[in-house]
Amino acid sequence: MQQTLDLLNFIKLKPEEKQIADKVIENKRISDEEALFLYQHARTNFLAVLANYVREKLNKDYVFFNINIHIEPTNYCVYNCKYCSYARKFKDKDGWVYSLEDIEKMVSKYKDSKITEVHITGGVHPHYDVYYYAKMIRRIKQILPHVHIKAFTAIEIDFMSKKARMTPEEGLKLLKEYGLDSMPGGGAEILVDSIQKQLHDKPGPDVWLRIHKAAHKLGIPSNATMLYGHIENYEHRVQHLRKLRDLQDQTHGFNAFIPLKYRSKNNKLSYLGEVSVIEDMRNYAVSRIYLDNFPHLKAYWVNIGKKNAQMALSFGVDDLDGTIDDTTKIYTMAGAEEQHPRMTASEMRQLIKAAKRIPVQRDSLYNIIKIYD
């Protein structure tokens, strides 16, 4: 950390940058106005150094990863999201839905493997309720009793619960009884009503926030995301981050924050193109500086590619998600660089070590399994 502080002293800081740096070093919370300044005016080298100071303070030089797979039960979806390249309707030839038996066969291949997590998200299927997905969790646990199941976005839980004439809180209780261990953070997009109304026809920000709050109260931790680089501006990003920080103050239930870059292939917003890699890195850094109560910042390598995820380790990131084993299509269908997302644990360690960081294999709750010095 001293080297990082020395770097801050080496950079000739603008007065506003110095004011923000002093607050962060003194463990004082930066304001929304200061976060907006970081987005709009702070120099990229300053953002990198200050974000890495926060990372080092929280997690030393550790970079976490886990051994996981994804299951995407269906890409049929009742909603119409302009940024989505994944969802299909029943008339579409490239739609799919896996039966419970299909999913049993998928996970059976990993019976003797070292995976510690099964991540489940997909489209919001019009016919399946919370009881169906509870059975799915139970069957997976019967085959892989040791794995952590991180499953279903808030929007999925909202729909499947209402389909069973339950509240989302009741649906979460049922899923937990059947083996749900935590929730992913997807479906947040930008937690601003005016933006969400332009992006999709799903329930709005209040529903996402309320369901994560309910999950935390039930002892179900979760992650949080931001889909950035489309129609939002920096003020919207700050509003999004503030809502997450406020909820974390209340519940302390979020494990990690995951910025997700909008990928532009094969969707209704393709005309927008994509933001630059520099913008990606700046967004990681501002997020790390602002979200002082989030223990981890993740670069989802499937979304931005291995090399860019490695670069993000110099902008405050301390987690790279997991090995995946080519079990997700959400970002490949949107044109992400990694068209066959798969890494071995050894490859992840090498990628982390090449960035002069210490690889740490973790479980889904960030308990350390092994440190690779």
List, for residues 128-175, the tens digit of each pLDDT value: 999 999 999 999 999 999 999 999 999 999 999 999 999 999 999 999
Instruction: Name the domain boundary from 18, 33, 55.
Output: 55
Determine the Cα–Cα distance for residues 35 and 244; give it in Å rounded to an integer.
14
Alpha helices in 89-129 (DSSP H): 100-108
Pairing label, strands 62-66, 358-362: parallel
Coil, strand or helix: which one is 81? coil
125 and 22 within one domain: no
Give the side-chain half-sphere CA count within 13 A for 371: 9
List, for residues 314-367, the tens digit of each pLDDT value: 999 999 999 998 888 887 887 777 777 899 999 999 999 999 999 999 999 999
Q: Are 202 and 81 in contact (CB under 8 A)?
A: yes
Share of the chain above pLDDT 70, in %: 99
107 and 11 within one domain: no
Determine the Cα–Cα distance for residues 78 and 154; give it in Å rounded to an integer.
15
Alpha carbon distances (Å) from 367 to 45, 66, 141, 291, 364: 32, 10, 20, 21, 7
Helix, strand, coil distribution of the chain in percent, nearest 5: 45, 15, 40
Task: Average the pLDDT over 194-219 and give the result.
Answer: 97
309 and 183 within one domain: yes
- The domain of 35 spans 2-55
Alpha helices in the chain (DSSP H): 2-10, 15-25, 32-40, 44-59, 100-108, 130-143, 154-163, 168-178, 193-199, 205-217, 234-251, 277-290, 301-304, 306-312, 345-354
State the pLDDT at residue 278.
98
State the pLDDT at residue 64.
98
Q: Average pLDDT, whole number, for the chain?
A: 95
Instruction: Name the domain boundary from 38, 55, 72.
Output: 55
State the pLDDT at residue 8.
74
99 and 42 within one domain: no
Pairing label, strands 296-297, 319-322: unpaired
Alpha carbon distances (Å) from 317 to 136, 212, 258, 283: 33, 23, 9, 11
Longest distance between any two alpha carbons in the chain, whole Å: 62
Provide CB contacts within 8 A for 124, sequence distance 6+. 77, 78, 79, 155, 156, 159, 160
83 and 41 within one domain: no
50 and 91 within one domain: no
Please state, as a whole number, how many other Cβ atoms lie within 10 Å of the Cβ of residue 40.
10
Q: Are 86 and 123 in contact (CB under 8 A)?
A: yes
158 and 179 within one domain: yes
DSSP code, position 187: T
Strands ordered across the beta sheet of 117-120: 68-71, 117-120, 148-151
Structurally, the chain folds into a number of domains equal to: 2
Q: Are 132 and 121 in contact (CB under 8 A)?
A: no
Determine the Cα–Cα distance for residues 284 and 231; give it in Å rounded to an integer.
18
Lowest mean pLDDT among 31-40, 295-304, 322-331, 349-358: 322-331
Phi, psi of 332 (to 5 degrees): -65, -35
Instruction: Name the domain boundary from 40, 55, 70.
Output: 55
317 and 247 within one domain: yes
Confidence of residue 1 (pLDDT cuts 50, 70, 90): low
112 and 8 within one domain: no
6 and 96 within one domain: no
Q: Are 230 and 83 in contact (CB under 8 A)?
A: yes
Number of H helices, E strands in the chain: 15, 10
- Nearest alpha-carbon partner for 237 in 304, 160, 316, 291: 291
362 and 220 within one domain: yes
pTM for this model (two decimals):
0.96
Which token pair is 73? 């039960």
Q: Is the pLDDT of residue 17 over 90?
A: yes
66 and 49 within one domain: no
CATH number at 103 reads 3.20.20.70
Determine the Cα–Cα distance for residues 187 and 153; give it in Å rounded to an integer.
6
